[in-house]
Structure 1
Amino acid sequence: MSPTEPSNAPHGNSGPVLSARDLAKAFGSNKVLRGIDIDVRRGQVVALIGPSGSGKTTVLRSLNGLEVPDAGTVTFGDADAGTVRGSGAGLTLDFAGNVGKREIAALRDRSAMVFQHYNLFPHMTVLKNIIEGPLQVQKRPRTEVVAEAERLLARVGLADKRDAYPFELSGGQQQRVGIVRALALKPQLLLFDEPTSALDPELVGEVLGVIKELADEGWTMVIVTHELAFARQVADEVIFMDGGVVVERGPAADVLREPREERTKQFVKRLQHDV
């Protein structure tokens, strides 16, 4: 048992934790998302793969409210389409309407992002980076939050780094702190944006190992990654995107070993060859 019980661990055959429908986003004349649909069940790991510029990160940021789509809906739980709920189980945001700061904040309350470039506060210690969100945003008791942070740091092998600053850590250690910071928020959904792409090759394994442990424990995750071997190990579903659309989706073994679509075949073959 991990130090923190996954708040999003699987419980029977429940419906999707998250459903996104018809997500669309344009930056000027560049249409980066063209009607994206995603369902993520409790305890499921979904990997988003595709070439640079295909829209993967924009999808991820849309699920967390860091990017506001031009159209489409994002639903957590069983909220009725077109409605907005508070901090309870159900929440739907319809981006074709007027989505305000309160609604975006409610969306962010349900997920936590692990960024490509760590995004740690450089002027804060490791411990302060982790406890800032639970204390300031979630208003949880300090003693509870600190104890939780220390347990999580021990779990990823960084107990002795609680008082260190980010510049004193390796890239792999910084990314593990980023993962702990996300876990400390007790989210329904964990989002990973290319969590190893900024790391030196010898540091990739330590971060992927932590993510694999989280998958084995039943955390619900959406991962943007170029690590196809890793996606094959941890993902229940792989979604291949190109040009802002979903080209192919299915079980990881099918999409990554025997893709149906020619564009997927080309991408998988090229990436495996590059590796």
Structure 2
Amino acid sequence: MPSEDPLLEVAGLHKAYGDHVVLDGVDLSVDAGQVVALIGPSGSGKTTVLRSLNGLERPDGGTVRIGEVAVDFGARQDRAAEDRLRRQSAMVFQQHNLFPHLTVLQNVIEGPVRVQGRPRDEAVAEARALLDRVGLAAREDASPLRLSGGQQQRVGIVRALALRPRLLLFDEPTSALDPELVGEVLGVIKELAQQGWTMLIVTHELAFARDVADDVVFLDGGRIVERGPAGVVLREPREERTRQFVERLLRPF
């Protein structure tokens, strides 16, 4: 159950593009150290939730609080507050989004040095330690283009960790990978969960969500239809719409 003071608290989040409503009053909370998986059909608003938290999309209304930093998106725009909110989280993208002209190490230290203003020596030392943790210490001078998809995604995870966020956001982290590479990325995420990182994960890997997530949230039509413990929602969902979705993914034919 959510605590009285969750790390992430979202209330009444709205987003529309013209007449198309993408988020229709989303309320969501995540406790410190909790892993929450967002599932739902394409176009349900899952990625827009993440992008709204990370400042890649500006919601039309609603409030978001991460830690002590809160923004009311229905009020007059406060760029300084929105920038502080953006810095509380880091995102791992579906398509890696690494800079091809930079080495692996340079990709990892770019944010800490250029955005956060941390000393380069400190950022390099931390980046090397993180790369070692995911088995990529020997590839720090490599171009991302010479890495496998799984290796690129592990670099993407390290790049997010190097920003020292309070909240990690994952947008379908395995959907762009060949099936044989999925396990190595999911293994890293599982280790992060065991280490107590707070994570919000958009995924279609229901078995992974059941094993790693504390809670599963099912979105449809820009609204949260159901939330509960991962094992309960994925085995015995209360809502018919959730049941239909889960059965379709687990038994597609």
**Quick check: TM above 0.5?**
yes
2:149 is aligned to 171
Please say if 1:212 is aligned against 2:190.
yes
**Aligned match of 1:32:** 22
Alignment deviations for residues 64-85 of structure 1 (CA, whole Å, 9 cap, x no partner): 11111000000122xxxxxxxx
C-alpha distance in structure 2 between counterparts of 1:147 and 1:14, whole Å: 37
Give the conservation status (yes or no) of the 8 Å contact 1:14–1:41. no
Aligned equivalent of 1:182: 160
Q: Is the 8 A contact 1:15 1:42 kept in 2?
A: no
What SS does structure 2 have at the residue aligned with 1:274? coil
Superposed counterparts of 1:90-109, under 5 Å: 90-109=68-87
Distance 1:99 1:36 in 2: 20
Partner residue of 2:113? 135
Deviation at 1:99, TM superposition (A): 2.1
Q: Distance in 1 between matches of 2:201 and 2:22?
A: 18
Equivalent of 1:200 in 175, 178, 182: 178
The CA deviation at 1:168 is: 0.4
Q: What per-residue deviation string (whole Å, max 9, x for no partner) do you get for residues 39-73 of structure 1? A: 01000001000000000000111111111100000
CA distance in 1: counterparts of 2:4 and 2:96, whole angstroms: 32
Amino acid at match of 2:23: L
Q: How far is the alpha carbon of 1:104 from its aligned partner?
A: 2.2
**TM-score, length basis structure 2:** 0.97
Distance, in Å, in 2 between the alignment partners of 1:122 and 1:141 is 23
Identity of aligned residues (%): 69
Q: Secondary structure at the match of 1:123?
A: coil
Q: In structure 1, what is the equivalent of residue 51 of structure 2? A: 61
Deviations 1:88-124 (A, max 9, x none): xx21100001224322211111000000000101110
Report the residue type matching 1:41 in the other structure: D
Structure 2: gaps of 5 or more residues: none
Deviation at 1:28, TM superposition (A): 1.0
Gap regions ≥5 residues in structure 1: 1-12, 78-89
Distance (Å, rounded) in 2 between the aligned partners of 1:99 and 1:134: 26
Amino acid at match of 1:233: D
Q: Structure 1 runs of 4+ off > 3 angstroms?
A: none
- Distance in 2 (CA, whole Å) between partners of 1:23 and 1:188 is 20
Match of 1:42 among 32, 50, 60: 32
Normalising to structure 1: TM-score of the pair? 0.89
Shift of 1:14: 7.5
1:223 to 201, 211, 222: 201
